[in-house]
Amino acid sequence: MFEEDYIIRQIKECVAAAMKLVFNIDTPTRASLIIKSEEKQKKLTGLLKTSDEGRIREAVEELHRAAKDRTFDDLLMGMDFYTHLCEIDDDKLAAENMKYSDIKADMSAFFHDFGLAELADLILFEG
């Protein structure tokens, strides 16, 4: 449980750092609130619903497909999505044979795709 809490904190800190560095926002603002594209906003809503229904892997795969253009809205969509996954019920993760460490690894790969490798590596580092 302590390890899971630590990973959840790392994920949230990584998102907060990216919000500050990329968007100069240092308050706990949800990334979804600043997505400009209505299409991306709808896509995020669908991804959150899919993950809430317990189809987490499907939602993660769809996020990567939806963010292929690597726009700011795509980055914001991913940041809000990974923050949301920190709130997913442990039973839903277990049903998908997933752990928070899987979410952390996937988020790291997502950040790498957006040129934020150093930030992700710094915060998500496994000593």
* More confidently predicted of 127 and 95: 95
What is the pTM for the complete model shown? 0.91
| % of residues, the chain, pLDDT over 70 | 98
Residues 6 or more apart whose CB falls under 8 angstroms from that of 125 comprise none
Instruction: Say whether pLDDT at 29 is over 90.
Output: no
Q: What is the pLDDT of residues 67-111, one digit of tens each?
A: 999 999 999 999 999 999 999 988 999 999 999 999 999 999 999
Whole-number pLDDT of residue 127: 54
- C-alpha 82/C-alpha 75 separation (Å) is 11
Q: What does the pLDDT read at residue 33? A: 82
Tokens for 34, please give them.
């600043």
